[in-house]
Amino acid sequence: MRNAAKITATVLTAAALATGVSACASSSGSGSAGQSADGPLVVAASPTPHAKILDYVRDHLAAKAGLKLEVKEFSDYVLPNTATQNGDVGANFFQHKPYLDDFNKKNHTDIVPVVDVELEPLGLYSHKVKSLKDIKDGATIAVPNDTTNEGRALKLLADNGLLTLKPGAGTGATPADVAGNPKHLKFKELEAAALPRSLDDVEAGVINGNYALGDNLNPAKDALVLEKAQGNPYANFLAVKNGNQNDPRVKKLAQLLNSPEVKQYIEQTFKGAVVPAFGKPAA
């Protein structure tokens, strides 16, 4: 049985409201399960594939490396960073650099990447059409509503000829940056976790790889189009609050996450829906 702690959004929200108490204790590096130097390293993660990869490390590699590892599953993209900043957990594994940069800027946090681990290609999915050419004029496309993933989703649509973006539109692109829209597409902006459930209500949706996998969608087989992995800046990494990079537990986990065993596990388990992307995070 998995012993990763599954935390509901309701409980997490309550916990977030209580961080004023916990932050004082954790900021010094003591009194927190995430920061206690002689305790286990507690890592916040999205369920799939991040928690699954961490579970593999915990169950097969950590003990031999002298690492005590606990995994807490979060179902959104905000609370893992909040918990890391407050010291309620010691690290997180769920995000890419453009998202973290945007989060730090908006929330005045100082979370930093440690090591890249994997890439989940973003894909366009549909319950109603089988190919891009079948998308109807005036169709509604669901896209993630967080800044960087929305821009990434629109770039995927642009790269596949469904629209064009204004010159200079980058990772923060929104529907307002659409310059050409030959199919007169409409856009429904939703939280990333809700996108798989939206497919019955829209023509198609651009879904993050982890949420696609969590809803039994196979990116390699089910996506109408899929991001290319080569040269992709959206690798997901292990991250910590700035200053904790040299925690021996974090260093051990970083080494294990970039090990040959984890590479083999990712390739055999996810079969191209998640791909290894080891190394130093982008500047």
- Amino acid found at 42: V
**Short-list 147, 267, 165, 142, CA closest to 211:** 142
- The pair phi, psi for residue 267, each rounded to 5°, is -65, -40
pLDDT digit string, tens, across residues 165-198 = 999 998 889 999 999 999 999 999 999 999 999 9
Give the pLDDT of residue 248: 97
The SS3 assignment for 278 reads: strand
Instruction: Tell me the pLDDT band of 3, cut-offs 50, 70 and 90.
Output: very low
For residue 150 the two structure tokens come to 């929305």
Angle in degrees, CA 267, 270, 273, rounded to 5: 105
Give the pLDDT of residue 232: 79
Instruction: Tell me the pLDDT band of 230, cut-offs 50, 70 and 90.
Output: low
Give the pLDDT of residue 171: 81
Residue by residue, DSSP assigns 196-261 as GGGTTTSSEEEE-HHHHHHTT--HHHH-SEE---TT-S--EEEEEETT-TT-HHHHHHHHHHTSHH
The full set of domains in the chain, from first to last, is 5-120+234-279 (3.40.190.10), 123-226 (3.40.190.10)
Instruction: Look at 270 and 37; give whichever has higher pLDDT.
Output: 270
| CA torsion through residues 168, 163, 213, 262, sign | negative
Q: Report the chain's mean pLDDT, rounded to a whole number.
A: 87
pLDDT digit string, tens, across residues 98-114 = 899 999 999 999 999 99
Lowest mean pLDDT, pick from 55-59, 139-143, 150-154, 206-210: 206-210
pLDDT at 25 over 80: no
For residue 190 the two structure tokens come to 């939703």
Give the pLDDT of residue 194: 96
pLDDT digit string, tens, across residues 42-67 = 999 999 999 999 999 999 999 999 99
Residues 6+ apart with CB under 8 A from 95: 77, 80, 81, 103, 236, 237, 239
* Cα of 110 vs its chain's centroid, Å: 18
Overall average pLDDT of the 8-22 stretch = 36
Residues counted in the chain: 283
Give the pLDDT of residue 35: 56
pLDDT digit string, tens, across residues 115-130 = 999 998 899 999 999 9
Gyration radius (Cα) of the chain, Å: 19
Instruction: Look at 210 and 124; give whichever has higher pLDDT.
Output: 124
Lowest mean pLDDT, pick from 71-80, 219-228, 235-244: 219-228
pLDDT at 31 over 90: no
Give the pLDDT of residue 32: 44
